[in-house]
Amino acid sequence: MVTYIIRRLLLVPVLLFGVTVLIFGMLQFISPVERTALYVRDIPKNDKQIAGIIRKYGFDKPLHIQYWRWLTGTKDPVTGDRNGGILFGDFGYSRTASEPVAQLIKNRFPNTLDLTIWAVGPVILVGIWLGVQAAVHHNGIVDQLARMFSIVGTSFPTFVVGLLLLMLFYATLQWMEPGRLSNDFSREVTSDAFKHYTSLLTFDALLNGRFDIFWDAFKHMLMPILTLSYISWATFLRVTRGSMLETLRMEYVTTARAKGLPERDVIYKHARPNAMLPVVTLAGFSIVNLLGGVVITETVFNYPGIGSAAARAAVNLDVVTTLGFALFNGFILIVSNLAVDVLYGFVDPRVRLS
Amino acid sequence: MTQTTIPSGDNSLLPSTQMRPVGRLERVVGPDNYRILVGLFKTPASIIGFSLIVFFILIAAFAPVLAPPKATGDPYQIPRDGFSADPKPPGTEWVRNAPPLPFWWKAITGRDEWVHIMGTSAGQYDIYYGMIWGTRTAFRTGLVVTFVTLIIGVVIGSVAAYYGGAVDNIIMRIVDVFLILPGILAALILAAVLTPRIGKSLIPTMTALIAFGWMGYSRIVRGDILSVKERDYILAAHVIGVKNYRILFRHIIPNAIFPTLVLASLAIGDVVLSFAALSFLGIGTEIGYADWGQILSFARNYITSLNTYWYILVFPGMTLVLFVLGWNLLGDALRDVLDPRMRGKI
């Protein structure tokens, strides 16, 4: 197990290096003159000034030096202040949000985390439950319906599902609305009386004893959660069903039945735990993806997470912000993938031994 | 001519070996691949899927008949009936800037004036026209992106598998790096970086989808080649001194690539979906270009009144869903055929 973890840990710097190079590479599509515009806020008066900025930030230097500067930033020889440097958390200044990218991420990420926490249950558990039911009633009506759902379900693009939900629950029934919080509560949440313990809105509301705010915030997450669940159910259903069918054909299951165990125990105690192995991987991936911000879902419902922020920056061609989000996402995904792999090593002995 | 001698004696206990007739197609593609092709057209679901795709191909082919473009200008530019903001319901008469009337319209409805069959979207873009010509956009982007990703994926995957060792290791780590960012986000970012360079068109989005779309193919091809590589005829080729690249491109790839080809052709649905998602977010073509995702994105400005303006969501949404459903139904059939446990059942 220890060697497995060490081997997996050794991969992390490689991946980190790869992601930074990839994103730095994307930055190269922008010419030095355009890149100066990303760093200055007033319009340069003449070419000489632009040349000065290019020299100052080293855009005329060889690529590997530029890359190093981009990673670590430059030290001002007089004041000793560090300028830039993504390793030190300076992702640049966001033109569209009018604040540093790091600050933008810090504001947005808790919302994404909040959504992830509440979405994990319905997204994963219901899909697994459906899959097990389909496999147990193999070729029965439940199974046929489930299969049909999984094909038709995957054919509905996220944004179509989202807009249909908005049409039904918001425009027609007016039960829920997009966004994060109703206007009345947004003012209250920013006031001093409301203490931010965790910066996750629903938990803060509970800790402040404000069930009305909690319910309001939760209601705003219902449509995103429904959308996310709907898209992932099809996948979870398919994987769980396949794995469960395979397990139910194994000889130890026949043995369990032969020795007279009730069918309930055979399915839920003997077959299901072993059928869950591929599902665990899938669950890991889907949590990791939720954490990375679900671009389309957040955008459709105007939910202020990192996904919608990245999309907005990209649409407004705000390259610094977009790449900042890409970096942050890359870091999160690498770290959480590592966690998933290590956990998986604990669950399935075959993985750590191979 | 010598006659094959049949062993004398009583052969009645031997099973009669009746040869299955082998068609020309089966001879050309080989028995395994033939099984895949036949399996694709066996179930009702896959036939429905295939029909849907044929339906869309016909729409794309007959776009100028179904929705005649204006005599001048780019046919992919959706004609606008004025500029007012609010959508108009299906059946509204086409007042300004109407394109020519299709000949079948009068025969069916007996009316002389062209109407907005599916209504207009925000800014008076005709939804029907956008759907018809958007089908061409969908096929164009889907085919090009799939073809190029496939080639890149196959070349990279086969080089990694064939040379093995350090080359394989480095290439597969690069694949890992490209897989870190979720596909749609990565494509979104690259498209955003490319758009100021290239300008708003199909190209930045397509490039982005290609740049982050090849990794799956290279993984599959690598696996398939690793298994073909060990066959005896490859060893034989080595022994008689055939050059490396010739072994790879003439002996290994043709024998390993068929499943990947089928997979790729069915990935067109996914590509179109990702493309629509990106243009829905606002990356991609100029406003007014016939492109499903973009027409859907108009609905975002009207979420408070989607119950009144249902047609700006339902028509484009259903078009996209049917298109993707067609490919998914075929893909599902393919998954069954490619599943080794199903071998011999079809």
The minimum CA-CA distance between A77 and chain B, rounded to whole Å, is 33
Determine which helix (DSSP H) or strand (DSSP E) holds A99, and give its type and residue range: strand A99-100
Chain A interface test: which of B53, B131, B281 (most A C-beta within 10 Å): B281
Lookup: tokens for B44: 């009702």
* Inter-residue long-range contacts of A195-201, CB under 8 Å, 24+ positions, other chains counted: A198/A110, A199/A110, A200/A110, A200/A113, A200/A114, A200/A117, A201/A110, A201/A111, A201/A114
List phi, psi (to 5°) of B126. Answer: -75, 120
Q: Does the CB of B252 have a partner CB in chain A at under 8 Å?
A: no
The average pLDDT across A317-340 equals: 86
**Which residues on chain A are in Cβ contact (under 8 Å) with B276?**
157
- Whether B281 and A333 lie within 8 Å, measured CB to CB: no
- Percent of chain A's residues with pLDDT above 70: 92
Please name the member of B189, B303, B321 whose beta carbon is closest to the beta carbon of A323.
Answer: B189
Which B residues in the span 258-297 are in contact with A, Cβ-Cβ below 8 Å?
273, 276-277, 280-283, 296
Residues of A in Cβ contact (< 8 Å) with B308 = 171
Q: Which chain A residues contact residue B305 at CB under 8 A? A: 171
Residue B229's pLDDT is: 83
Give the pairing of strands A93-94 and A99-100. antiparallel
Tell which wins on pLDDT, A57 or A346: A346
Q: Does B36 touch chain A (CB under 8 A)?
A: no
Res B275: pLDDT: 93
Predicted local distance difference test score (pLDDT) of residue B345: 42
pLDDT in tens, B280-300: 998 888 888 999 999 999 888
According to the model, what pLDDT value does residue B286 have? 84
Q: What is the DSSP string of A146-214?
A: HHHHHHHHHHS-HHHHHHHHIIIIIIIS-S--SSSS-HHHHHHHHSTTS--SSS-HHHHHHHTT-HHHH
**Cβ pair A19, B174 in contact under 8 A:** no
Backbone angles phi, psi at A129, to 5 degrees: -60, -45
The reply to whether residue B332 touches residue A151, judged by beta carbons under 8 angstroms, is yes
Task: Provide the pLDDT for residue A48.
Answer: 79
Contact B317 A163 (CB under 8 A): yes
Find chain A residues with C-beta within 8 A of B280's C-beta: 159, 296
Q: What is the pLDDT of residue A81?
A: 67
CB A320 within 8 A of CB B176: no
Do B293 and B205 touch, CB atoms closer than 8 A? no
* pLDDT, position B145: 95
Winning range, highest mean pLDDT, from A15-29, A128-142, B131-145: B131-145
Sort strands A82-83 and A74-75 into parallel, antiparallel or unpaired: antiparallel
Contacts of B193 in chain A (CB under 8 A): 26-27, 29-30, 319, 322-323
Share of chain B above pLDDT 90, in %: 32
Neighbours of B162 (CB within 10 A): 22
| Mean pLDDT, range A184-192, rounded to an integer | 80
Q: Using the predicted structure, report yes or no on whether residue A101 has a pLDDT greater than 80.
A: yes
Looking at beta carbons, which residues of chain B come within 8 Å of A156?
Answer: 321
SS3 annotation, chain B: CCCCCCCCCCCCCCCCCCCCCCCHHHHHHCHHHHHHHHHHCCCHHHHHHHHHHHHHHHHHHCHHHHCCCCCCCCCCECCECCCCCCCECCCCECCCCCCCCCHHHHHHHCCCCCECCCCECHHHEEHHHHHHHHHHHHHHHHHHHHHHHHHHHHHHHHHHHHHCHHHHHHHHHHHHHHHHCCHHHHHHHHHHHHHHHHCCCHHHHHHHHHHCCCHHHHHHHHHHHHHHHCCHHHHHHHHCCCCHHHHHHHHHHHHHCHHHHHHHHHCHHHHHHHHHHHHHHCCCCCCCECCHHHHHHHHHHHHHHCCCCCHHHHHHHHHHHHHHHHHHHHHHHHHHHHCHHHCCCC
Contacts of A227 in chain B (CB under 8 A): none
Which two structure tokens, joined as six digits, stand for A195? Answer: 């203490």
The mean-pLDDT minimum among A41-45, A181-185, B235-239, B247-251 falls in A41-45
Give the span between the Cα atoms of B200 and B191, in whole angstroms.
10
Q: Which residue has the higher pLDDT, A32 or A270?
A: A270
Contact residues, chain B, for A7 at CB < 8 Å: none
Shortest Cα–Cα distance, B69 to chain A (Å): 28
Using the Cβ of B255 and the Cβ atoms of chain A, whether some distance falls under 8 Å is answered with no
Question: Cα B148 to chain center, whole Å?
Answer: 12
pLDDT of B346 higher than 50: no
What letters, b where the CB count within 10 A reaches 16 and e where it falls short, cover B163-197?
A: eeeeebeebbebbbbbbbbbbbbbbbbbbbbbbee
Please tell me the predicted confidence (pLDDT) of residue A353. 66
Whether residues A330 and B181 touch (CB distance < 8 A) is answered with: yes
* Burial (CB count <10 Å: 0-12, 13-18, 19+), residue B20: exposed
Q: Is the predicted pLDDT of residue B335 greater than 70, yes or no?
A: yes
B180–A166 CB contact, under 8 Å: no
Rounded to an integer, what distance in angstroms lies between the CA atom of residue A201 and that of residue A205?
Answer: 6
On average, the pLDDT of chain B sits at 85
User: A–B: how many Cβ contacts below 8 A?
Assistant: 148
* For residue A103, pLDDT beyond 50: yes
Q: How many CB atoms lie within 10 A of CB B233?
A: 12
Enumerate the residues of chain A whose CB falls inside 8 A of the CB of residue B174. 18
Instruction: Note the ipTM here.
Output: 0.85
Average pLDDT over residues A260-288: 87
Position B134 scores a pLDDT of 94
Nearest to B303 among A157, A170, A317 (CB): A170
Q: Is residue B4 predicted with pLDDT exceeding 60?
A: no
B180 touches chain A (CB under 8 A): yes
Which chain A residue lies closest to B341 (C-alpha atoms)? A246
| pLDDT score for A39 | 63
Comparing B27 with B155, the larger pLDDT belongs to: B155
**Side chain identity, residue A130:** L
Over residues A89-98, the pLDDT tens digits come to 777 778 788 8
Which has more pLDDT, B344 or A153? A153
* For B274, nearest residue in chain A (alpha carbons): A157
